[in-house]
Structure 1
């Protein structure tokens, strides 16, 4: 049902010569990363990770003011939207309330740093962003200087656990060559306590 929902995405991306609905491709990348990073993850986390961006196109950024406050409102709204959307599907599939609550808490990004499920989802999302989306994002913003990139990378890095940091830096994911130095710089600044 999650794949079917994400297959409705009107936005498409090409990956390795195949066209994909954008959020279906993202969901597959998230699931692949979970299998690599936490192969023992249970069904609740497998579903949470695959539903991280479920039907994201239905809540576009353009619906909110194009400033920092609007961005934060959009992100908060997205988390709620994704959690509610997956909850509806899990109810239809007959899952128990406790199971649904666990999945929706992770997808809704509740209690990051204290809820291991939310932290695992955030780790996987950060690793997927670095491996698959950072280069494209940098290509779309050639105007950003080094400090801007450090700020962007730092915000993602700070949401990830120490385990995810080690995983990212130890060759388990493909980091973009052009940004490896900045990622390592952020990692060293975090270690030294500069941030």
Structure 2
């Protein structure tokens, strides 16, 4: 088994402990962090098969043990404690993921790269951070957008979709447009693409 496969297997074993469950079509509910990580890897294989180990590991494990920082779960266990923050969750997941990588043969540079990706502090010039944003956006389009459309009031949908899609690159938005036929989503994608910054229109990492 390769180092990458070993790390991904450990991530899945940990994510399988998530007490929160996500319903899946035609199958039993699955631990939420586990199914999200698997979906990120699936989308990565389709959209960016050339991605390196750092991106693949960050994609699979970006929410590692995130249930420990779920405000509802945390408040039920410790009602008087301050609500955990997203920053605390990201730091915890980043540190734990880096330790898992180091224990399975990855060097300091790779471990620090993944840690910085999860913290959002990776140098943007190499494209990895943008690629991680793209993968999150594509997972939303393919697996969560329909639920959001059904759940949210139509007046709030445009802003919701802008928030979810505006961080994506033009290349990822183009890919998303090809894999969905929902007119609300495709319309939002077209609108966002018209106003993209030059940086979003050129993602060198994917070239």
| SS at structure 2 position matched to 1:159 | coil
Q: How does 1:66-77 map to 2 (within 5 A)?
A: 74-77=85-88
Say what the alpha-carbon RMSD is for the aligned residues.
2.8
Q: Would you say 1:160 and 2:171 are equivalent positions? A: no
Post-superposition CA distance 1:114-153 (Å, at most 9, x none): 4511111111111111111122233333x351xx322222
Unaligned runs of 5+ in 1: 65-70
Q: Which residue of 1 aligns with 2:99?
A: 88
Partner Cα separation in structure 1 for residue 149 and residue 171 of structure 2: 25
- Per-residue deviation, 1:177: 4.6
Q: Which residue of 1 aligns with 2:200?
A: none
Question: Which of 146, 149, 174 is matched with 2:180 structurally?
Answer: 174
| SS at structure 2 position matched to 1:95 | coil
Q: 8 Å contact 1:11–1:22 — kept in the other structure?
A: yes
- Matched residue pairs, number? 181
Unaligned runs of 5+ in 2: 1-9, 76-82, 198-207
Q: How does 1:29-68 map to 2 (within 5 A)?
A: 29-62=39-72
Q: 8 Å contact 1:150–1:186 — kept in the other structure?
A: no
TM-score when scaled to structure 1?
A: 0.79
Q: 8 Å contact 1:134–1:176 — kept in the other structure?
A: no
